[in-house]
Amino acid sequence: MLKKYLSDIAFMQVLNLLIKPIWILLIDAAVQEALPQAVYGNYFALFNFSLLFFIVLDLGLNSFNITEVVQDNSKIGVLTSSIIGLKIILAVAYVLIILGVGIVLGYTSQEFGLLLILGAIQILTSLTQFFRSIVASLQRFRVDGIFMVLDRILVILFVAILLWSGIPNFELTIHRFAYAQVLSLSLVLVSLLFFLREYLSQVRISFSLDSILPILKKSWPFALLVSLMGLYTYIDGVMIKSLVGDAEAGVYALGYRFYFALLMFAQVFSGVLLPLFTKNLADSALIRSISGYTARLLLFGGLVASFITTVYALDILTIINPEKANSDSAEVLVLLIFGFVGASLTLVYGALLTAGKELKWLNRFAAITLLLNLIMNLVLIPKYNAQGAAMATMISQIFFGLVCFFVSAKKYNLHLTFTSFIRPFSGVVLLVLIIFGGKQYAQNSSVHFVMIAITVLLAAYLFKLYKLKDFKSVLKK
């Protein structure tokens, strides 16, 4: 099972590696480069604002749907009929809420125009995620991987036309950038409906309270969790805009991009782990094997990225945005990447606890994390600007990740011992010595990166990501 899991993950990550970096590091970066920093900063803040209320569209329905359909595929038709009817109602409520809160916050008419487009993006995202949850519940992870990147492929094409086609009166604007995403998501939604047509043939959209209320009753703990986590994850951009302005939000957005790219790769694991854990929850050996390996893999990747970013943050940003790279955004990037280490634990052990419906623990500590995040943002942003928001995000992610890890260890008897940490700790020490110390003695960056590559290979062995016999077999081939 571990081999099949890793094979599916590898396939999905290859797709990610082929597509997502082009979107995040080339297209989205080119958009930010082409537009004034305040314009993109305003877009970034409004986009995060639209995400804050995404829970209204989801209400935990995707996670609930996975936990139900994995156990009985015959429920697809009945659940989909009610959930789609509910999502239509929620979409109307969502639009009214973002407009109402926008009025309270004093948004301008131009900002409302952009906010409505961003709201449409979130509605379409909610629908595509729901239908993808059905694909994942059917254990069709590779197909899910294709749908995962399809909208990015389409939006890359559309935005590239806006950026570089040179068509008269069709140049890039922030509104056209948003419309390109709406069009891409709409095409993906149609594709998903076509793929699932056999399972959805009996679906009849229902607005009946008799069918909707039982679903809401079962899904509300999932909804609360998604809401709390979404708030402490995305509220930073909104608070920066409100407390210190659009320009500083642009500084944060520049550092946020690379962190977001890493997070997108890591979330692929979570998307596979939830249905996999739900289906095999009784197999404790399999749970320990897959959760342990995935956690080590993500933690290892996060630590390597954190250490390298600390040394080369400004160089990385200069490659992505040569005109706008600055030391403030570099500091934001370093702090956020360290926060990724905590997010990695959440993605693995949060998925395990969700599969086991241990939502009482998750919701309790997610609420504490949100309160902690809000207090830190209110204190740190006025004093440290974008860097203050990054500090708050880093601490919040690490805190909640550790909570998920220790609760999972207790609930699922993960057999943690002091000796099991010795080898990974040795790997961390080795990485620190070479990445931080090696830069002082290496003749140039190329030599240093060769040293890092060799060290990463050795440290991966210490993290038990591969065995020597596996390495020998590769060399023979």
**Winning range, highest mean pLDDT, from 18-22, 85-89, 213-217, 420-424:** 85-89
Q: What is the pLDDT of residues 237-259, one digit of tens each?
A: 778 888 888 888 888 888 887 88
Q: What is the pLDDT of residues 180-190, one digit of tens each?
A: 999 999 999 99
Could you tell me if 192 and 84 are in contact, meaning their C-beta atoms sit under 8 angstroms apart? no
**DSSP, res 202:** T
Q: Residue 418: is it exposed, middle or buried by C-beta count within 10 angstroms (0-12/13-18/19+)?
A: exposed
The values of phi and psi at residue 365, to 5°, are -80, -25
The pLDDT of 389-393, averaged and rounded, is 93
Distance CA 7, CA 322 (A): 37
Could you tell me if 373 and 232 are in contact, meaning their C-beta atoms sit under 8 angstroms apart? yes
Percent of the chain with pLDDT over 90: 35
Question: Helix %, strand %, coil % for the chain, to 5?
Answer: 85, 0, 15
Q: What is the pLDDT of residues 361-374, one digit of tens each?
A: 899 999 999 999 99
C-alpha 48, offset from chain centre: 13
**119-128, 156-165, 392-401, 416-425: which range is least confident on average?**
416-425
Nearest partner of 448 among 331, 325, 312, judged by Cα: 312
Q: What is the pLDDT of residues 5-37, one digit of tens each?
A: 778 778 887 888 788 778 877 888 888 888 888
Distance CA 317, CA 330 (A): 7
Could you tell me if 66 and 137 are in contact, meaning their C-beta atoms sit under 8 angstroms apart? yes
Distance CA 370, CA 367 (A): 5
Distance CA 275, CA 281 (A): 10
Please report which confidence band the pLDDT of residue 468 belongs to, taking 50, 70 and 90 as the band edges. Answer: low
What pLDDT is stored for residue 475 in this prediction?
42
Distance CA 408, CA 406 (A): 5
Could you tell me if 393 and 335 are in contact, meaning their C-beta atoms sit under 8 angstroms apart? yes
Handedness of CA 352, 357, 361, 365 (dihedral sign): positive
Could you tell me if 439 and 448 are in contact, meaning their C-beta atoms sit under 8 angstroms apart? yes
The pLDDT of 338-367, averaged and rounded, is 90
Dihedral angle, C-alpha 88, 91, 96, 99, nearest 10 °: -160
Could you tell me if 346 and 398 are in contact, meaning their C-beta atoms sit under 8 angstroms apart? no
474 vs 194, residue with greater confidence: 194
The pLDDT of 386-413, averaged and rounded, is 91
The values of phi and psi at residue 202, to 5°, are -95, 5
Nearest partner of 456 among 303, 290, 263, 294, judged by Cα: 303
pTM assigned to the model: 0.77
Instruction: Name residue 395's amino acid.
Output: I
**DSSP, res 182:** H
Could you tell me if 23 and 257 are in contact, meaning their C-beta atoms sit under 8 angstroms apart? no
> How many helices (H) and strands (E) in the chain?
21, 0
pLDDT at 477 over 50: no
Rg of the Cα atoms in the chain? 22
Q: What is the pLDDT of residues 260-304, one digit of tens each?
A: 878 878 888 887 888 888 888 888 888 888 888 888 999 999 999
Determine how many CB atoms are found less than 10 A away from the CB of residue 238: 24
Mean pLDDT over the full length of the chain: 86
Nearest partner of 388 among 255, 234, 236, judged by Cα: 236
Sorted by sequence, the CB contacts under 8 Å of residue 434 that are 6+ apart come out as 451, 452, 455
Tokens 């969502």 locate to 94
Q: Provide the H-helix boundaries in 280-385.
A: 284-320, 327-345, 351-355, 359-384
What pLDDT is stored for residue 470 in this prediction?
53
What pLDDT is stored for residue 454 in this prediction?
93
Could you tell me if 424 and 462 are in contact, meaning their C-beta atoms sit under 8 angstroms apart? yes
Distance CA 132, CA 268 (A): 12
| Backbone dihedral region for residue 204 (phi beyond 0: left; psi -120 to 50: alpha; all else: beta) | beta
Dihedral angle, C-alpha 106, 108, 113, 115, nearest 10 °: -30
Sorted by sequence, the CB contacts under 8 Å of residue 371 that are 6+ apart come out as none
The pLDDT of 199-217, averaged and rounded, is 83
What pLDDT is stored for residue 2 in this prediction?
63
- In DSSP notation, 100-144 reads HHHHHHT--HHHHHHHHHHHHHHHHHHHHHHHHHHHHHTT-HHHH
What pLDDT is stored for residue 469 in this prediction?
61
